[in-house]
Structure 1
Amino acid sequence: MRAITLGTTQLKQILKQPVSWVVLFVMPIALVGFLLYGLEHIIKTESLLPPFDVAIVDDDNTKETKILIQQFQDDDELSELITFRNMDEEKAQSLLEANKIAAILKVPEGFTDGIRYGENKPVTVIGNEQRPFQASLFLEMMKSAADLVSAAQSGVNTIYDYMVEIGYSEDYINRVANETITDFTLFAFGRQNMFEKEKVESLQGVEPLEYYSISGFLFLLLFTGLLTMSLITSSNRQVDERLRTFGVSAGSHVVSTFLTQAVILMMQALIILGSLWILTDLKITGHLGWSTLTTLCAVLIISIWYTFLSNLPLGEGIRFFVAFVFLVIFTTLGSLSLPESYFTGILEWVNLSTLSHWIHSLLVHSFFIENEEILFACLGVLGGMGGIMLFSAFLLRQVKQA
């Protein structure tokens, strides 16, 4: 009973402050705006890499290189990512300096003859330092093709030497050699297979809007919990001595902090979810019952987390700093910004050790994918974490009151 009374008092004090109403009502609308406009490109294209232009400078100017350039420009899959523009070197350099293109592909004079006679005359790729990722991607594509060009040279030479040894006429040998150069060059640069499009479900098999809606929802709950913890700590500091005189137990303190956090976060959760479903095209494609249960679970676990932090034997400023550092870790390494598949090595272990990762997986697999095996695993992990943190909070509170 004392825990409920104390919790009610804390809740009234928090709701008297204007910042509480800003967090509760303004930030959910800001989240929806960010999801609709800040992630517009990702939501529409389902890609983190925007299309870019590459200039082609053909100094060889042969039939084979013209066919090669045309091949690049006509490839439907490749054209979704890269637009090839044929121009002279001077114009290409000016566009590169103006950051209008990601790279220059320069075909040297004698490129075709180099394949015929086994001379090493590779194409040159000049990348744009202002677009390192796009330039590196294109460079790797060209390196792969260059390895095949080397093999093509050996193939042309083998065929040429064989026909000379057999005694074919010079006209026939030249004609076959030219055809072989064309075939091998186009094959080397992957005719119709230069760019294979493959959709990788890195976002746990859901759409970007769905994935980042859950991320934004969790981030706001974590941020609201951080501010609520700070407000509770400030109010508790003023009345701790008086409550200790009246014999309020450590358990009552812990339970009251937990209840205050849970009520604030549940209000926040309802407002955020309502805003998302009213203002966006999101729909629950999983299980409604599981979605309700997991939302409640997320609120309770985050409340327990901040209850644990609020009872650490630290100064108020240091405690807030520690909580903020964890919020940053949850956001960057806890599946809120990037999905689990992007983390390897030690970062994968960090990702799996965060509360946010398990809560995010729990919500995704209840709201949008009904996967009970994953749901039970997440609930088990979170239940264990929550129990440990709540027990630790009780012990820490007893130490503080001793």
Structure 2
Amino acid sequence: MFFIQLYGKQLQKKWKSLLLLFVFPVFLVSIVAFIIVTFISPTSDSSINVAIVDEDDTEETRMIRSFLQTSFSQDGYIELIVMPQEEALKKIEENQIVAYIKLPKTFTDSMYQGAPLTVPIVGNSKRPSESYIVKELVESLTKYIESAQANILTVYDYARKTEMSDSDFQTYRYNAFIEFTLFTLAKDQLVKEEVITNIATSSPANYFALSGWFIAISIWFFGFYELLKREEHPAILHRLHLFGVTPWQYSISRIIVSMICSILLAMISFTILMRVLDIQLYGIDYLRIFQYVFLYGLLLVVGLTIIEVWIKSMKLSLLLQILFLLIVMITSGSIFPSIYLPMSIQQFLPLIFSNEVFSWMVDIVLEERNYAEFASLYIKAIMGLVVLWASTVVKKRWT
């Protein structure tokens, strides 16, 4: 209690620094968020242009072309254009189309005879990911056509055993092709859709406002903790030890004071932010956010304290603390959304406390998640406090 009161009086004397500590993160985050939103916001024209080259040009291929154009136009993301091969190659060189699909001259005959179907695809090397999407589309198309082939060949086999004339057989064959092909293509989706919502692009203003607030509270936790730093003379520390004061006592009191001030500022600013963004949250949601802020701040400040316990040099300690703060904020997904980080890093992100906290905050505030999980964070917080306590005991005996 003595050290808590001492640190409280120390903060009162530094009210000018407290004002700067409050204004600086808000100003910095506002500028950075504006720049990031400008670059990450999706463009209005995001359709994939694909050409189809029909060298067979039969009634059957024209029907398939028409069906594909209708199917893709309803989706709105893929536009299928019929053109000659020379024009398609030219448009790929000019980066106007993603790829072109070629229906070879033997397409219809191969389909009627039950021969394997080969549909060549020429992709745009400048747009590999979109070309891969076209490849998946064509593979899905050929699987459906092969399924229709099996049914068509069965009907043909029985039709040939009848006394049907050649003209009637050709008409029957064409009608059977239309019936089975349309049935097979239309009975299910041509492409299985999996919707992945990237909240950073679907709702950039709200997302980056929340991430800006998260960055601000990180700076506030760090700033309040550093404002309470005192370089005591070795003689004073020796006297404190003679009175039975341990490093754990004044470390934990410094953590308590910085936590109280930071959490108070964080929750007030969060409430204001929700009013500005016009996001309606229930009282239980504010309690969940409060717990996440508390656990995040505790783990962050405990990490800063452990560095300070083991590093004697104040300058080196401050440098490592700043580096720790930057790593925590970058891996949280608040500065750069996690989806834009390298895949090798993404698999380890759920293990980092800052990423877990920010992900839950996004789910609660922006995706209306009505439950929360705190067990792993509480375990990490307890482990952090145990490591800090052990560090102070070992360091005291070592000294």
Aligned residue identity for 2:387: S
> Residues 146, 112 of structure 1: CA spacing in aligned structure 2 closer, same or farther, 3 A cutoff?
same
Other structure's SS at 1:130 match:
coil
How far apart are residue 175 of structure 1 and its match?
A: 0.8
Taking the aligned partners of 1:100 and 1:10, their CA distance within structure 2 comes to 62
> Residues 126, 13 of structure 1: CA spacing in aligned structure 2 closer, same or farther, 3 A cutoff?
farther
Question: Which residue of structure 1 lines up, in the alignment, with residue 286 of structure 2?
Answer: 292
Question: Which residue of structure 2 lines up, in the alignment, with residue 301 of structure 1?
Answer: 295
Question: Which residue of structure 2 lines up, in the alignment, with residue 63 of structure 1?
Answer: 59
Matches within 5 A, 1:370-381: 371=370, 374-375=371-372, 377-378=373-374, 380-381=375-376
How far apart are residue 173 of structure 1 and its match?
A: 0.8
Aligned residue identity for 2:145: V
> Residues 125, 271 of structure 1: CA spacing in aligned structure 2 closer, same or farther, 3 A cutoff?
same
> Where do 5+ consecutive residues of structure 1 fail to align?
none
Taking the aligned partners of 1:77 and 1:8, their CA distance within structure 2 comes to 69
Question: Which residue of structure 1 lines up, in the alignment, with residue 17 of structure 2?
Answer: 16
Q: Confirm whether residue 393 of structure 1 aligns to residue 388 of structure 2.
A: yes
> Residues 51, 208 of structure 1: CA spacing in aligned structure 2 closer, same or farther, 3 A cutoff?
same
Matches within 5 A, 1:162-201: 162-187=158-183, 189-190=185-186, 193-195=189-191
Other structure's SS at 2:161 match:
helix
Equivalent of 1:158 in 149, 154, 158: 154
Q: Confirm whether residue 244 of structure 1 aligns to residue 237 of structure 2.
A: yes
Name the structure, 1 or 2, with higher relative contact order (CA <8 Å, separation 6+). 1
Q: Deviations over 1:63-88 (max 9, x none)?
A: 22222222222226753221112222
How far apart are residue 352 of structure 1 and its match?
A: 5.2
Question: Which residue of structure 1 lines up, in the alignment, with residue 363 of structure 2?
Answer: 364
> Residues 356, 154 of structure 1: CA spacing in aligned structure 2 closer, same or farther, 3 A cutoff?
closer
Q: Give the TM-score of the pair, scaled to structure 2.
A: 0.76
Taking the aligned partners of 1:266 and 1:396, their CA distance within structure 2 comes to 29
How far apart are residue 12 of structure 1 and its match?
A: 6.3
Taking the aligned partners of 2:275 and 2:235, their CA distance within structure 1 comes to 45
Of residues 129-138 and 241-250 in structure 1, the stretch that sits farther from structure 2 once superposed is 241-250
Matches within 5 A, 1:86-101: 86-101=82-97
Which of 1 and 2 has greater Rg? 2
Aligned residue identity for 2:296: I
Question: Which residue of structure 1 lines up, in the alignment, with residue 27 of structure 2?
Answer: 26
Other structure's SS at 1:75 match:
helix
Taking the aligned partners of 2:36 and 2:279, their CA distance within structure 1 comes to 15
Question: Which residue of structure 2 lines up, in the alignment, with residue 125 of structure 1?
Answer: 121
Taking the aligned partners of 2:73 and 2:233, their CA distance within structure 1 comes to 66
Q: Confirm whether residue 382 of structure 1 aligns to residue 358 of structure 2.
A: no
Other structure's SS at 1:177 match:
helix
How far apart are residue 32 of structure 1 and its match?
A: 5.8
Taking the aligned partners of 1:72 and 1:224, their CA distance within structure 2 comes to 56
Equivalent of 1:329 in 324, 331, 339: 331
How far apart are residue 224 of structure 1 and its match?
A: 5.3
> Residues 159, 240 of structure 1: CA spacing in aligned structure 2 closer, same or farther, 3 A cutoff?
farther
> Where do 5+ consecutive residues of structure 2 fail to align?
none
Q: Deviations over 1:202-231 (max 9, x none)?
A: 97xx978766655554354346545666x4
Q: Confirm whether residue 267 of structure 1 aligns to residue 265 of structure 2.
A: yes
- 8 Å Cα contact 1:211-1:364 kept in structure 2: no
Taking the aligned partners of 2:148 and 2:208, their CA distance within structure 1 comes to 46
- 8 Å Cα contact 2:255-2:302 kept in structure 1: no
Taking the aligned partners of 1:10 and 1:57, their CA distance within structure 2 comes to 74
How far apart are residue 8 of structure 1 and its match?
A: 5.3
- 8 Å Cα contact 2:22-2:220 kept in structure 1: no
Taking the aligned partners of 1:13 and 1:140, their CA distance within structure 2 comes to 63
Q: Deviations over 1:92-129 (max 9, x none)?
A: 22222333222211111221122122333422222223
- 8 Å Cα contact 1:11-1:260 kept in structure 2: no
Q: Deviations over 1:364-385 (max 9, x none)?
A: 34786463xx43x42x433333
Taking the aligned partners of 2:233 and 2:369, their CA distance within structure 1 comes to 46
Question: Which residue of structure 2 lines up, in the alignment, with residue 3 of structure 1?
Answer: 4
> Residues 366, 111 of structure 1: CA spacing in aligned structure 2 closer, same or farther, 3 A cutoff?
closer
How far apart are residue 325 of structure 1 and its match?
A: 3.5
How far apart are residue 389 of structure 1 and its match?
A: 1.8
> Residues 158, 295 of structure 1: CA spacing in aligned structure 2 closer, same or farther, 3 A cutoff?
closer
How far apart are residue 139 of structure 1 and its match?
A: 1.1
RMSD: 4.2
Of residues 135-144 and 295-304 in structure 1, the stretch that sits farther from structure 2 once superposed is 295-304
Aligned residue identity for 1:329: T
Taking the aligned partners of 2:264 and 2:107, their CA distance within structure 1 comes to 68
- 8 Å Cα contact 2:292-2:357 kept in structure 1: no
Q: Deviations over 1:248-279 (max 9, x none)?
A: 6422223214432552464355436534642x
Matches within 5 A, 1:311-330: 311-312=306-307, 313-314=310-311, 315-316=316-317, 317-330=319-332
- 8 Å Cα contact 1:290-1:367 kept in structure 2: no
Question: Which residue of structure 2 lines up, in the alignment, with residue 147 of structure 1?
Answer: 143
Other structure's SS at 2:338 match:
coil
Identity of aligned residues (%): 16
Other structure's SS at 1:56 match:
strand
